[in-house]
Amino acid sequence: MSTIPYNKKNVIVLPQTNQLRGLYSIIRDQSTKRGDFVFYSDRIIRLLVEEGLNQLPVEETTIKCYGDHEYQGAKFLGKICGVSIVRAGESMEQGLRDCCRSVRIGKILIQRDEETAMPKLYYEKLPEDISERYVFLLDPMLATGGSAMMAVEVLLSRGVRMDRILFLNILAAPEGIEAFHASYPDVKIITGGVDEKLDENKYIVPGLGDFGDRYYCV
């Protein structure tokens, strides 16, 4: 299968260029070793971060160039921060740092129960002024959507505006996108691909296995 096209407001699927399909072919391959898995995942993460930045509002500005020539440019409006859903989401922090110098990063530790796939919240540590920021929520996998929805609840409880959350995600299942989007229609989901379905263990099919294990352990 190839990725499922999505035509929903606030669901942004990266253009399925040959380059992107090539990157996914490497990280999906079960024989890919950890070094390559990390390297090529990082390249996809960078593309997701760049697309997230594309979505931020700008104001028009006029620049004086050399020779006093004028350039009609754009200036970013607003402040951002990152929030990763530990563990796998931490893999996306460096990609954000590479684009946004000294960006603040918060953490929410949510783990899916291995038997039931239900998420459990263990810990959160977020920037004090998070309610004034655009938040790049980072988690590579959107399966049932339970973990991401729990993380959004934490952000909303801290005063973050729903329309200022951008959820960056490497791979999603249709079930997860539907559930997430129905609950939080104003959150922008930026994903690199939408797969076919979930299996009986709530893993994405065809998917890429356990992202956290492949990035950090195996």
φ, ψ for residue 51, nearest 5 deg: -70, -35
- Going by their DSSP bridges, the two strands 171-172 and 141-142 should be labelled as parallel
Smallest distance, Mg ion to C-beta of residue 66, A: 48
Q: Which of residues 175-204 bind ligand URA (CB under 6 A)?
A: 203-204
5: DSSP letter: P
Is 141 among the residues that bind ligand URA (CB under 6 A)? yes
Contacted entry of ligand URA, Mg ion, ligand PRP, none for residue 204, CB cut-off 5 to 8 Å set by kind: ligand URA
Smallest distance, ligand URA to C-beta of residue 211, A: 4
What gap in Å lies between CA 133 and CA 148, rounded to an integer? Answer: 18
Contacting residue, 95, 106, 127, 145, with ligand PRP by CB under 6 A:
145
Q: What is the CA radius of gyration of the chain?
A: 18
Task: Count other Cβ atoms within 10 Å, centred on residue 190.
Answer: 23
62 is catalytic: no
Q: Cα 178 vs. chain centroid, distance in angstroms? A: 16
Segment interacting with Mg ion (CB under 5 A) among 52-60, 82-90, 175-183, 194-202: 82-90
Smallest distance, ligand URA to C-beta of residue 103, A: 25
Is 85 among the residues that bind ligand PRP (CB under 6 A)? yes
113 is catalytic: no
Closest CA to 85 of 169, 159, 151: 151
Length of the chain (residues):
218
List active site positions: 112, 116, 210, 213
Q: Which residues bind ligand URA (CB under 6 A)?
A: 141, 143, 203-204, 207, 210-212
